[in-house]
Amino acid sequence: MLNEYVAAALKQAQYKRLEDNTWFAEIPGLAGVWANASTVEECRSELMEVLEEWILLKTKQGDDLPVIGGFDLNLKPATAS
C-alpha cells in the first residue's frame, strides 16, 4: 500500500521550470515536501525520496498522514477483544 500511496501523491505533484532552468516540484497539502533539480526526471526522483522520508518522519512522530487517492497509511489502534 505504501507504493500506491506514494504513486497517488506523486500524481498530485506540481512542477515548474525556474528562471535558472532548474525544475521545482511540490505536492500541495504536504508541507515541506518539495524538490529542486536540473532535470524533471531528477526532480521527480528527489521528490519521491523526500516524500518517503516525510512519511517515515510523520509516522515516527505519531502524526496523522493525509489520505491520498483513497489510501490511508494511518495506523489504527488495536481493539480489545
Q: Which CATH number goes with the domain that contains 19?
A: 3.30.160.250
Residue 69 within any structural domain of the chain: no
Residue 46 within any structural domain of the chain: yes
Q: And the C-alpha cell for 40?
A: 524533471
For the CA atoms of the chain, what is the radius of gyration? 15
In the predicted structure, residue 1 carries a pLDDT above the cut 90: no
Give me the number of domains the chain comprises: 1
pLDDT digits (tens, 9 = 90+) for 36-78: 999 999 999 999 999 999 999 999 999 999 999 999 998 777 6
| pLDDT of the residue at 12 | 97
pTM of structure: 0.88
Q: Which residues of 11-41 are buried (b: 16+ CB within 10 A; e: fewer)?
A: eebeeeeeeeeebebbbeebeebbbebeeee
Residue 75 within any structural domain of the chain: no
Range of the domain at 13: 2-61
